[in-house]
Chain A
Amino acid sequence: MTAYAISDSSTMLRRSLRRMRRYPSLTFFTAALPVVLLLVFVYVFGGTMGAGLGGPSIGANGRDAYLAYLVPGILLLTIVGAATGTAISVAMDMTAGIVARFRTMSIARGSVLAGHIVGSIIQISLAIALVLVVAVVIGYRPGGGPASWIAAAGLLVLTAIATSSLSVALGLATDSVETASNTPMILTLLLFLSSAFVPTASMPDPLRWFAEHQPFTPIVETLRALLAGTPVGDNGVVAVTWCVVISVAGYLWARRLYERVPVRVGA
């Protein structure tokens, strides 16, 4: 809209990054929960879960098999968990007067949102790197080669764009910081109702139908195939389509809300 869209967005991104640097605990906690769950799932449930996976690839050690199965799910959990932080920081921003100031300035309208979205993606990338390091330390070895790893990274970034756009919109849609911290929980729940942690085949029929038709299952299946070096199949296209649709819809929704969000006088 203005000639300064890029420079304004990068100013806003620098603002997000500076906050991240100043409060590294936010990024740390974004990674900490998935790491804890990774350890719990592997060492507490792993033996039993691995035995239940079935298939020829399961050898004597079910735990290792489950680790391989679980890591893509945990990576998505990291992305989804970060959504909460993003929604909260957007909601906090809106309650503070500074956004009212931005809106009375001649700056690119989307830049505030772009700063939040890109900042969130960077934070997610750092958290994912931390989670992966822990996974490798406890014995995770991805299959496939560099090409499929790059594709996996691409899919993770796409998913991060989708959830970040959506969580910025969720942060704008709520009228308090407290609500903003709760709404993204739906995403976490949705992830649990997918094939992220157990195969859909083990679920009751209605749930299984739901799990197979919601966005996270094709995403997690594609990621798993890329990290295992097995064929991706149709899931790849479905996963990318979901990501693009959610990203665009989330961003448009956020833009709409940003224009209309009430000016909070008494906060």
Chain B
Amino acid sequence: MNAIEVRGLTKSYGKQVVLDSIDLDVAEGTVLALLGPNGAGKTTAIHILSTLISADSGQVLVGGHDVARDPNAVRGLIGLTGQVSAVDGQFTGEENLRLMADLEHLGKQQGRRRVRELLERFDLVDAADKPAMTYSGGMRRRLDLAMTLVGEPRIIFLDEPTTGLDPRSRRVMWDIVRDLVADGVTILLTTQYLEEADRLANRIALLDHGRVVALGTPAELKRLVPGGSVRLEFGDTEQLERAASVIGDGAVRDDDALSLEVPSDGSVHNLRRLIERLDSSAVEVEGLSVQAADLDDVFLSLTGSTSREHVEQEVPAR
């Protein structure tokens, strides 16, 4: 069963189309990463799915409930950790969690137990009595997610959960996400980091200019672009010239670095043939390295480099 089903989701602000007929399915207990450059529409999608803003058209079912017709039923199932920290900086970590427990109507005993449990799980016990505004970025983000988890949501939206975090905090967040998935929680996260999508997501939807330009498992996406390449380095321009003429079209030549990048699937067979061809023409190769395809290649070839210039816009929802 799908925890999230999106059909023909469209949203524009004035003439600017932010989401252009998006279709998505997220199976229960899996992670879908919405990957895309700034301004691709990731945050807008999350905001619509979490009932914060309404769509222009299309159907969105979250946990089987229509977000437009029954937003309250959806709200009972979901948790959102947005890009903007949703903790109250003037209150302590514990007070923030207690506030959530009260709003989830957990009752005194159960609420207290749940708050304790989350403080321990998110390594916030020592900071529990300090105002959240004194927290570091990583602590704040952990508190933020802990608050989202007070009500034990079955479907969680994470909008760029690790943006701005140091590598260690990022890993802690990743572990938390993995634990949640192990408990059967469904997660839809957005990220600009290919590595993050690669590591966490069962499936990735690549979003660009409001459209899903690719959808599949990380491995499937990597297969979408012509494999990896072999990078050849030469001692002088003459050798580079000769190699370029032997290999012909398809190679990318860099005169400054005296290098040649040749498309290759990285197989031994393919490499041997390449070296044989170079040998038979007496080309001297100084260095050789094999580069496998990664999501970077997919990202860059499918989203177009110009879109990186776009700045994520503040959403004028009036």
Closest to A14 in B: B102
Q: Which of A96, A102, A105, A265 contacts B312 (CB 8 A)?
A: A265
Chain A 220-253 per-residue mask, 1 if CB under 8 angstroms from chain B, else 0: 0000000000000000000000000000000000
List residues of B (49-103) whose CB comes within 8 Å of A's CBs.
50-53, 72, 75-76, 78-80, 82-91, 95, 99, 102-103
- Cβ contacts under 8 Å, A7 to chain B: 102, 105
Q: A267 CA to B312 CA in the complex, in Å?
A: 12
Interface presence of A107 (CB below 8 A)? yes
Q: A18 CA to B90 CA in the complex, in Å?
A: 10
**Cβ contacts A to B, 16 pairs, < 8 Å:** A11-B103, A15-B88, A15-B99, A19-B91, A96-B84, A96-B85, A101-B82, A104-B51, A104-B52, A104-B78, A262-B316, A263-B317, A264-B84, A265-B314, A266-B314, A267-B84
Interface residues of B (CB under 8 A from A): 43, 47, 50-53, 72, 75-76, 78-80, 82-91, 95, 99, 102-105, 147-148, 151, 312-318
Q: A84 CA to B35 CA in the complex, in Å?
A: 43
Closest to B313 in A: A265
Does A104 contact B50, Cβ atoms closer than 8 Å? yes
Does A265 contact B84, Cβ atoms closer than 8 Å? yes
- Cβ contacts under 8 Å, A23 to chain B: 90
| Nearest Cβ on chain B to A263's Cβ, whole angstroms | 5
| Nearest Cβ on chain A to B117's Cβ, whole angstroms | 19
Q: Which 3 A-B pairs have the closest CB atoms?
A: A97-B86, A97-B84, A101-B86
- Cβ contacts under 8 Å, B51 to chain A: 103-104
- Cβ contacts under 8 Å, A103 to chain B: 51-52
Q: A14 CA to B103 CA in the complex, in Å?
A: 12
List residues of A (67-113) whose CB comes within 8 Å of B's CBs.
96-98, 100-107
Does B315 contact A22, Cβ atoms closer than 8 Å? no
| Nearest Cβ on chain A to B241's Cβ, whole angstroms | 51
- Cβ contacts under 8 Å, B50 to chain A: 104
Q: Which of A11, A98, A262, A266 contacts B87 (CB 8 A)?
A: A98
Does A107 contact B103, Cβ atoms closer than 8 Å? yes
| Nearest Cβ on chain B to A173's Cβ, whole angstroms | 10
Interface residues of A (CB under 8 A from B): 1-2, 4, 7-8, 11, 14-15, 18-19, 22-23, 96-98, 100-107, 260-267
Extra inter-chain contacts (15) besides given A104-B80, A106-B76, CB under 8 Å: A11-B99, A18-B95, A19-B90, A97-B84, A100-B80, A100-B82, A101-B80, A101-B148, A102-B103, A103-B52, A106-B72, A107-B103, A262-B316, A264-B84, A265-B83
Q: Which of A1, A98, A106 contacts B86 (CB 8 A)?
A: A98
- Cβ contacts under 8 Å, B99 to chain A: 11, 15
- Cβ contacts under 8 Å, B316 to chain A: 262
| Nearest Cβ on chain A to B19's Cβ, whole angstroms | 15
Given known pairs A15-B99, A107-B103, A262-B314, the reply for A98 and B151 (CB within 8 Å) is no
Does B151 contact A263, Cβ atoms closer than 8 Å? no
Does B43 contact A265, Cβ atoms closer than 8 Å? yes
- Cβ contacts under 8 Å, B315 to chain A: 262-265
Q: A97 CA to B79 CA in the complex, in Å?
A: 13
Given known pairs A96-B89, A265-B312, the reply for A101 and B317 (CB within 8 Å) is no
Does B314 contact A100, Cβ atoms closer than 8 Å? no
Does A263 contact B76, Cβ atoms closer than 8 Å? no
Closest to B83 in A: A265
| Nearest Cβ on chain A to B74's Cβ, whole angstroms | 9
Q: A263 CA to B49 CA in the complex, in Å?
A: 14
- Cβ contacts under 8 Å, B312 to chain A: 265-266
